[in-house]
């Protein structure tokens, strides 16, 4: 398992519920990113972790969205009080050190549907 993995692959929930999306980055990668992709659009940046800390969370749309990476590897994106507009594919990516010119490796995404 050399790539970025994400679970679950699909998540259906009801409006107002809480969801957690998990990302396992490539082993040894210190930089981890979350993006959100709506249908027909490119991925949109949400948050960037360097190690355990969130170095840039400027893309989180509001305070219902929160992400953690407590041990510097696995990350969880948490969405409270989900809304239908949160429906999208949530992508996770990792890179070796977070350098400006490093390749980011993406996982297959979690498809979230809020009914």
Partner 1 sequence: GQSLEQPSEVTAVEGAIVQINCTYQTSGFYGLSWYQQHDGGAPTFLSYNALDGLEETGRFSSFLSRSDSYGYLLLQELQMKDSASYFCALNDYKLSFGAGTTVTVRA
- Contact call for residue 94 and partner 1 (CB under 8 A): no
Distance of closest approach, residue 68 Cβ to partner 1, in angstroms: 18
Q: What angle do CA 5, 6, 12 make, to 5 degrees?
A: 155
Report the C-alpha gap between 42 and 52 in whole angstroms: 27
- Binding partner 1 (rule: CB under 8 A), the pick from 52, 56, 61, 83 is 56
Nearer to partner 1, 16 or 56 (CB): 56
Report the C-alpha gap between 37 and 16 in whole angstroms: 21
Report the C-alpha gap between 51 and 28 in whole angstroms: 10
- Is 89:10 a contact under the CB 8 Å cutoff? no
- Binding partner 1 (rule: CB under 8 A), the pick from 59, 66, 68, 96 is 59
Nearer to partner 1, 17 or 51 (CB): 51
Report the C-alpha gap between 98 and 85 in whole angstroms: 30
- Binding partner 1 (rule: CB under 8 A), the pick from 1, 28, 42, 53 is 42
- Residues in contact with partner 1 by CB under 8 A are 4, 31, 33, 35, 40-45, 48, 56, 59, 91, 98-101, 103-109
């Amino acid at each position: 398992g050399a790539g970025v993995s994400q679970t679950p692959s699909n998540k259906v929930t009801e409006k107002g519920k809480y969801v957690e999306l998990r990302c396992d980055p490539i082993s040894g990668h210190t930089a981890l990113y979350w993006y959100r992709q709506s249908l027909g659009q490119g991925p949109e940046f949400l948050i960037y972790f360097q190690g355990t800390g969130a170095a840039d969370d400027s893309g989180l749309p509001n305070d219902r969205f929160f992400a953690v990476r407590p041990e510097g590897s696995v990350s969880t994106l948490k969405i409270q009080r989900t809304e239908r507009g949160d429906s999208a594919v949530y992508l996770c990516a990792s890179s070796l050190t977070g350098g400006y010119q490093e390749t980011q490796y993406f996982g297959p995404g979690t498809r979230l549907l809020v009914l």
